[in-house]
Amino acid sequence: MTRKWIHRPHIEGLASRQAHADLPPGTVERELGKEGFFGPASHMIHPRPPTGWTSWEGPLRPRAFDAAQLGPGGASPWDAHELLFNAHVRLRQWTCTASMDHLARNSDGDELLFVHAGRAALFCDYGHLAIEAGDYVLLPRGTMWRIECAAPITLLLIEASNSSYQLPDKGLLGEHAIFDPAMFDIPALDAAFKAQAAEPGEWQVRIKRRNALSTVHYPYNPLDALGWHGTLHPVRVNVRDLRPLVSARYHLPPSAHTTFVANRFVVCTFAPRPFETDPGAIKVPFFHNNDDYDEVLFYHAGDFFSRDNIHAGMLTLHPCGFTHGPHPKALGKMLVQSKPATDEYAVMIDTRDALEIGAAASQVENPDYHLSWRQP
């Protein structure tokens, strides 16, 4: 049986006919929507920012964590710092300070590596990849892999627990918008791979299943494939290769920047783009209710124009259940920006189910982040 949302378009009182543009003078807009910008929505007009709270009681509040303060976290990706998690996604941070002396294998779900800093060689069942800051590396569930590095490399690990990563439906834009799938790099069975396969010695494979580890011992390196063919394999794409959607007359919602989708969560990427040029279009993220998704932002690089006192390596969590939007300084530039384009790279994870706070994140939390919307 097909279903339809229950709604009848209606205007009550003071309103703008076009969302996110031509607001009545001296007002701000708040969006109330379903299914993370994909369902029905209404747009409230307010005389003041709806984030003007003076105090906050109870566990529901915006959170900020300075993951840049976390140490390496161990010699294995299974020693990584756990930041946020639920039944469908696990978000961890790991700094690899020396080449791995074992192989890792995630049997709980696909693993998406985001390289926050550094560069390294990644070896896996399928071959060798050089990886560097800004790379997304998608490792299908069950892939054996390890990293060789000459200097520390910091990774954000995003596990699609018991599911797989896919690409979003790009609809009218066609398959080549945002990035062409031809931009995906695939591991190669090159000279570096063959050389590491030929090295004598014993190897361990540390397998994670149901968040418990098992170790398998080999008298040789099991990364020794002679060849392969098929459509299941790791891929790599760098954030510099993304071409974000833009609109001169309308501020696009975060869903327009979706990069990967999995079961009950999405991964989006904010990359530099021109600001809207229409005089009436708002030029900052619009205030909106968080009524269906928890929203996470990992700040990778640049000038994070909608937030104050945020630097690279930080993480924010805006849980489902409250209104949020730009900080006061950013709101002052709602209609006129001082520069022509944004200058930021950030990874956003929107989850349909509530996230739990990991022990590592709790250690580096800014307890006063919820007060950052106060007017100066």
If asked whether residues 321 and 183 sit together in one domain, one would say: no
- Express as a percent the part of the chain with pLDDT over 70: 100
Establish if 39 belongs to a structural domain: yes
pLDDT in tens, 183-218: 999 999 999 999 999 999 999 999 999 999 999 999
Average pLDDT, the chain: 95
> 8 lies in a domain?
no
Query: Residue 197's domain spans which residues?
Result: 71-239
Say whether both 93 and 221 belong to one domain. Answer: yes
For residue 251, indicate whether it is catalytic.
yes
The C-alpha R_g of the chain, in whole angstroms, comes to: 22
Question: In this model, does residue 376 exceed pLDDT 80?
Answer: no
**255 and 170 assigned to the same domain:** no
Count of domains in the chain? 2
Is 10 part of any domain? no
Beta-carbon contacts of 70 under 8 Å, excluding residues fewer than 6 positions away, are 81, 93, 95, 360, 363, 364
Out of 187, 217, 239, a domain closes at: 239
3-state DSSP assignment of residue 122:
strand
Model confidence at 53, pLDDT cuts 50, 70, 90, reads very high
pLDDT tens, residue by residue, 81-135: 999 999 999 999 999 999 999 999 999 999 999 999 999 999 999 999 999 999 9
Residue 3 has pLDDT above 90, yes or no: no
Domain end point (choices 208, 239, 270): 239
324 is in an annotated binding site: yes
Predicted TM-score (pTM) of this structure: 0.96
Question: Do residues 319 and 343 share a domain?
Answer: yes
Inform me whether the pLDDT recorded for 37 exceeds 90. no
Residues 232 and 249 grouped into a single domain: no
Let me know if residue 3 belongs to a domain. no
Same domain assignment for residues 82 and 34 = no
For residue 170, the domain's CATH number is 2.60.120.10
Looking at the structure, do residues 77 and 226 belong to the same domain, yes or no? Answer: yes
371 Cβ contact partners less than 8 Å away, ≥ 6 residues apart: 56
Does residue 18 lie within any of the structural domains?
no
Contact 157, 94 (CB under 8 A): yes
How high is the pLDDT of residue 38? 84
Distances (CA, A) of 336 to 22, 31, 222: 13, 21, 58
* Cα–Cα distance for residue pair 83/65, rounded to 1 Å: 9
Residues 263, 176 share a domain: no
Which residues does 177 contact at the CB level (< 8 Å), separation at least 6? 170, 243, 245
The answer to whether residues 227 and 348 belong to one domain is no
Which pLDDT score is estimated for 370? 93
Q: Among 198, 224, 239, which residue terminates a domain?
A: 239
Set 251, 300, 318, 327: catalytic member: 251
Tell me: pLDDT of 73 over 80. Answer: yes
pLDDT tens figures, 266-300: 999 999 999 999 999 999 999 998 789 999 999 99
CA distance 370 to 373: 7
What average pLDDT does this structure show over 367-373?
Answer: 93
